Structure 1
């Protein structure tokens, strides 16, 4: 099981806190720790208000927790054996879902590599994907963590 406090701290470190709305490298309006205002249903007027007035750290923390839960659920929905992966590999998948909404239909090669438990190929597919193009150094670190993450323990013997 992932340590959610560690996930939160890593995302806070990498995303940074911005209390006023900003345009992300992917082109959407965000606020807080990379919270996608458009995907969360904010109107143009509300986004304008966040640009001018900003938000609070408490709201940014609340958004972050909600976004992490959504990202974890997204990863679990698309990877049936999510709980069998190491904590490091679970983190990679949740982080990618957090950063990119991880459009699963566009990530079939990553999913197929994971199904085969071929973490080298999964890492390479992450780097080759649109996520790899947009995510820069962070995605390179995530790919390396996918590649080098600790191995899953052997299943218990049934003898």
Structure 2
């Protein structure tokens, strides 16, 4: 049996689900029968997912905030970090912070970032990212 044939059989037998679900015995499952409760994911798989999600957040920032390409790497990374956490659509709701960033008004951008439900939810993360926006340093 070739790997391709086995793959096709397993997809047919197990099904392919792109979102987590409970299988017939109540185990949290994803993909093609991946039992997350008992097996989880490996470090390599977690890193692969992280790299993919970073690339997606980076592409979303590049597409939806084209002016961000002109930011220094630290401040651009803050936007990508926020897009990773919030999703690009929720990041775009930070209108005042984004407008301040676009004109390099870093203090206002940081104040607007911190004056949000997001900042109250993520705590130290928001403080650290706001400090990076102000300083342009890691």
1:53-104 CA-to-partner distances (Å, cap 9, x unmatched) read 2111111011000000011112112222222101110111111111221413
Aligned mate of 1:94, from 80, 86, 95: 80
TM-score (structure 1 length as normaliser): 0.62
Q: Does 1:148 align with 2:125?
A: no
Q: Does 1:45 align with 2:30?
A: no
Aligned mate of 2:98, from 103, 108, 111: 111
| Higher relative contact order structure (alpha carbons within 8 Å, sequence separation ≥ 6) | 1
Q: 1:105 to 1:83 in 2, by over 3 A?
A: closer
Aligned to 1:123: 110
TM-score (structure 2 length as normaliser): 0.71
| Structure 1 residue ranges, 4+ long, deviating more than 3 angstroms after superposition | none
CA distance in 2, matches of 1:116, 1:86: 13
Count of aligned pairs: 110
What RMSD over aligned residues (CA atoms) do the two structures have, in Å?
1.9
CA distance in 1, matches of 2:115, 2:38: 37
User: Would you say the 8 A contact 2:54–2:84 is kept in 1?
Assistant: yes
Deviation at 1:42, TM superposition (A): 0.9
1:20-77 CA-to-partner distances (Å, cap 9, x unmatched) read xxxxxxxxxxxxxxxxxxxxx5132378132342111111011000000011112112
User: Would you say the 8 A contact 1:122–1:146 is kept in 2?
Assistant: yes
Give the gaps of 5 or more residues in structure 1: 1-40, 151-159
Aligned to 2:4: none
CA distance in 1, matches of 2:92, 2:80: 16
Aligned to 2:49: 63
